[in-house]
Structure 1
Amino acid sequence: MEFAQEPIFQWMSQFAYQPGIVYAALIGMMMLSAVGFPLPEEVTLISVGILAFMGANPDHFPPPYPGAPVVNVHTAAIIAFVAVVVSDTLIYVLGRFFGRKILYHPRVQRLFPADMMKKVEEWTHKYGAYACGIFRFTPGLRFPGHLVCGVMKFPVWKFLVIDGIAAAISVPTQIYLLAHYGEPILNKLRQFKLVVLAVFAVIVLYFVVKRIHKKWVTRNVSL
């Protein structure tokens, strides 16, 4: 297995047999990502998936001693899912408790410019409670998005259901895919993300053209 000789895997292999540290780090990084820490949670999930893959393939990644504990893919997936939902809910609660004034807090404004917050509010007004799920799939907008969902006082049960379903789709799957397929899935993930970016670009272009066309029609009618 050629990719087992890559420096990154050589470095990460030291943690493949320290599951306690990995699980604790997983919870910490998921919480930090949720509150706007500039480390995409996808990086953490991919790393944990790779560690689980290493632990499941002792022939290619020999353990330091027989019977050494390994990162369990099921445990990691459950911990990641719970950590994500809990952290998302905490952000929602902050928005619900403090209201709109938290949107104008200096620290929030420093991390998320006013034009970004305005766009998040527009999306939330447009899509309602379903925006909870949209933000879960939108890195960089998760924190302000969940904050606004709380500010707008969407029902807690609805937020939990929609965010939970979105998290169940996006979080454990990345760990499972990498844990079971290793190197091939890394290549597939790269291709998949390119496809997703292309689709997203087409959708954005559609809405931009639609908006321009609407303004053009409105202007002509007014004339």
Structure 2
Amino acid sequence: MPIFTEYGYLAVFVMLLICGFGVPVPEDVTLVTGGVIAGLGHADVHTMFAVGMAGVLVGDGTMFGLGRLYGPRIIKLPGFRRVLTPERFASAQDAFHKYGKWVMFVARFLPGLRTPVFFTAGMSHRVSFATWLLMDGCAALISVPIWVYLGYFGAQNWDWMFGILRQFQHGIFGLLALGGAWLAWRWWKSRKAS
């Protein structure tokens, strides 16, 4: 954590950009760490929240923009073909067709799926930048302050913070299960109608 206490805002911003590029670094850990360093007096918590929002949106927006501008070229790169196979791309296209903009809102809460979903959204040209920004921005306004302020208030009470994290994790899994059931119901309903 010395890099975070020494470079604070810049370290959090850069780590969130790296998360946006699909590197398997948990975004929530970076945001909680930003809150903790603010709670320990190394940064202002409200500024850290703004930096967190900027890092999340710039990272996600970069993937959306790369998909929009260079998608067909990038998707041919050997390393990228393993991440976004033609089958996954077709599946993401189908999800956008069936569920629309809500796919991008839900993707914000699904580590590992954000990058392919946002890249595909840009590459598909079915989603405008304004729509992407609205959906991702609204979802980020839920997730970013939760993690930053949780870290801030938990900085002086680690046992409390880890207890809250465990409870919150169960709540997130419950919400994801409900969301998955709702998407399955919509899929089943659309299949039944056709």
Q: TM class, shorter-chain normalised?
A: 0.7 to 0.9
Among candidates 102, 106, 111, match of residue 130 of structure 1: 102
Cα distance in 1 between the residues matched to 2:148 and 2:5:
17
| 2:25 partner amino acid | L
Cα distance in 2 between the residues matched to 1:111 and 1:133:
21
Number of the residue aligned with 1:201: 177
**What's the % identity of the aligned pairs?**
29
Cα distance in 2 between the residues matched to 1:170 and 1:46:
11
Cα distance in 1 between the residues matched to 2:43 and 2:163:
22
Deviations 1:50-77 (A, max 9, x none): 222222xxxxxxxxxxxxxx22111111
1:209–1:142: structure 2 CA closer, same or farther, 3 Å change rule? closer
Among candidates 30, 36, 61, match of residue 89 of structure 1: 61
- Are residue 178 (structure 1) and residue 151 (structure 2) matched? yes
Larger Rg: 1
Superposition map of 1:14-163 within 5 A? 14=2, 18=6, 21-55=7-41, 70-153=42-125, 154-163=127-136
| 2:13 partner amino acid | I
Cα distance in 2 between the residues matched to 1:193 and 1:45:
15
TM-score by length of structure 1 reads 0.72
Aligned length: 189
1:17–1:127: structure 2 CA closer, same or farther, 3 Å change rule? same
Shift of 1:200: 2.5
1:126–1:201: structure 2 CA closer, same or farther, 3 Å change rule? same
What SS is found at the alignment partner of 1:139? coil
Cα distance in 1 between the residues matched to 2:188 and 2:101:
27
Cα distance in 1 between the residues matched to 2:4 and 2:114:
29
Greater displacement, 25-34 / 151-160: 151-160
1:116–1:28: structure 2 CA closer, same or farther, 3 Å change rule? same
**Larger relative contact order (C-alpha < 8 A, sep ≥ 6)?**
2
Unaligned runs of 5+ in 2: none
TM-score by length of structure 2 reads 0.81
Asked whether the 8 Å contact 1:92–1:148 carries over to 2, the reply is: yes
